[in-house]
Structure 1
Amino acid sequence: MGNVYFGFSHVGSVAVAVLIILAVMSVFSWAFIFYKWLQLKGLDRKNKVFLNKFIETKDKTSLEAFAKASDSIAGKLYLLNKESSSSAFTFFEMIARELEGGFPWLASVGATAPFVGLFGTVWGIINAFNNIGNVQSVTIATVAPGISEALITTAAGIFVAVPAVIGYNILHTKLSSLLNELDGFLEALSR
């Protein structure tokens, strides 16, 4: 425990700023990941209920009533397609753009967090060399604070990037699957 405290007790103001930036990136990434996971899971569940009803129901009147009561994208596509296929297609494109919102930001966090941490690493190493230049004899105590600062920011950058990249890949795959299913449904409706 004392070793961990030693690592944080010598962190300079630039490294603290880097750690704060990484903490903000991490909080927003996790919030987006949880929000998007719940959103996509809910939409997928609602669509599956409607699509099962669509397959099982032969009565168009009861299916239309179910679509109106349903809070699914598939149900809305079904109703809009009855009016015109172009309005259903426009609605689908609008929903796809809306659901893809935030993904570029999450990808950016995954791509840039290691470099933000690397900036802190470089700064820590610069501090270590400055400490070497300020003393006559070089000991581990001279360079340890700068090196520990460098390692802390490096680890923090990786800690932020890895969940963002994994979250992006899992969520984007889930979104692609949902959109492909809806696109197939829309094509089937227009036939």
Structure 2
Amino acid sequence: MSFIGLFMQASLLVKLVMLSLLATSVLSWAFIFQRHRALSAAKAEMRRFEDKFWSGVDLSRFYQELSARSHNSGMAALFCAGFKEFMRLRKSANMPPQAIMDGTYRSMRVVLSREVEDMERNLPFLATTGSISPYIGLFGTVWGIMNAFIALGEVQQATLAMVAPGIAEALIATAMGLFAAIPAVIAYNKFSNQVEKLENNYGNFMEEFSAILQRQTAMSAND
């Protein structure tokens, strides 16, 4: 009664259930590793950016340095979008300070939405896997046990040895459903919490950066 042997003895439907759960599990683990790398990189990038930003660097020079890159993400993308829009609106004639700040904040909000959407990529798949995999496995188990008892009813003398392999192969489907679901649920909860923390940090930076730009606008108006 090896796993391969039980799989080969299973009915076609139970085999399809097992194969679909196996494919789902493999895909889930691929997404788990991919999201782990992406969110770890996002946190590292955020720490580097904050260290540089709050070190007292000149904002114009810092913007030029970041703009020279081929791609910016996270807080760097928020900063570039906000500072670019701030400088553009500031050059417009008769532009009220509040309108400048509103435009700058809206520009950063758009980038924030894109960054959060990118960080949440593939998380819905993990949530779906964690929700439905046990039920798919249970369906395979019910179908397998049903077939085992139907076959048992066709013989004159029933023994446990006759029904045990059919029940065992059916229960494997439930085990595979749990094997696919449990890591997906754990990873989804962990990554969702990390995305929420990063989004809060990005939002706090937007508020602090907006306050810095507002002070610059007020100082320019007084001059």
Same fold (TM over 0.5): yes
From the superposition, tell whether residues 9 and 141 of structure 1 become closer, same or farther in structure 2 (CA, over 3 Å).
Answer: farther
Q: Does 1:129 align with 2:149?
A: yes
Check the 8 A contact 1:50/1:67 in 2, yes or no.
no
Q: Is the 8 A contact 2:14 2:140 kept in 1?
A: yes
Q: Which residue is 1:75 aligned to? A: 76
2-structure distance, mates of 1:89, 1:55 = 21
After superposition, the C-alpha distances for 1:79-109 in whole angstroms (9 at most, x for unaligned) are 2212122111111112212322322221010
Determine the C-alpha separation between the residues in 1 that align with 2:161 and 2:112: 62
Counterpart of 2:105, as a letter, is S
Contact 2:133 2:178 in 1 (8 A): yes
Instruction: Map 1:84-123 onto structure 2 (within 5 A).
Output: 84-123=104-143
Map of 2:180 onto structure 1: 160
Name structure 2 gaps, 5 residues minimum. 86-103, 212-223
Q: TM-score, normalised by structure 2?
A: 0.79
Aligned residue pair count: 190
In the alignment, what sits opposite 1:45? 44
Would you say the 8 A contact 1:67–1:78 is kept in 2?
no
Cα drift, residue 68 of structure 1: 2.7
In the TM superposition, what is the alpha-carbon distance from 1:175 to its structure 2 partner?
A: 1.2
- Residue 152 of structure 1 and its aligned partner are, at CA, apart by 0.7
Judging by fraction of residues, say which structure has more helix: 1
Shift of 1:65: 3.3
Following superposition, the deviation at residue 22 of structure 1 comes to: 0.2
- Post-superposition offset of 1:72: 3.5
Separation of aligned partners in 2, 1:9 and 1:76: 53
Runs of at least 4 residues off by over 3 Å:
2-9, 69-72
Sort the Cα spacing of 1:164 and 1:129 in 2 relative to 1 into closer, same or farther, 3 A. same
Measured against aligned partners, the alpha-carbon deviations of 1:20-40 in whole angstroms (never above 9, x if no partner) come to 110111121111111111111
Structure 1 Cα separation of the partners of residues 124 and 4 of structure 2: 36
Q: How many angstroms apart in 2 are the aligned matches of 1:135 and 1:32?
A: 48
How much has 1:5 moved relative to structure 2?
5.1
* Structure 1 equivalent of residue 28 of structure 2: 29
CA distance in 1, matches of 2:181, 2:166: 23
Residues 7-18 of structure 1 aligned to structure 2 (within 5 Å): 7-18=6-17
CA distance in 2, matches of 1:35, 1:146: 38
Give, in whole Å, the separation in 2 of the partners of 1:69 and 1:119: 55
**CA shift for structure 1 position 164:** 0.5
Moved more, 17-26 or 89-98: 89-98
Q: Contact 1:113–1:157 (CA<8 Å) still a contact in 2?
A: yes
Root mean square deviation, CA, Å: 1.7
Q: Which structure has the larger Rg over C-alpha atoms?
A: 2
SS at match of 1:56: coil
CA contact (8 A) 1:12 1:149 kept: no
Question: For 1:66 and 1:172, how far apart are their aligned partners in 2?
Answer: 32
Percent identity reads 36
Q: Assess, with a 3 A threshold, how the Cα gap between structure 1 residues 4 and 29 changes in structure 2: closer, same or farther.
A: closer
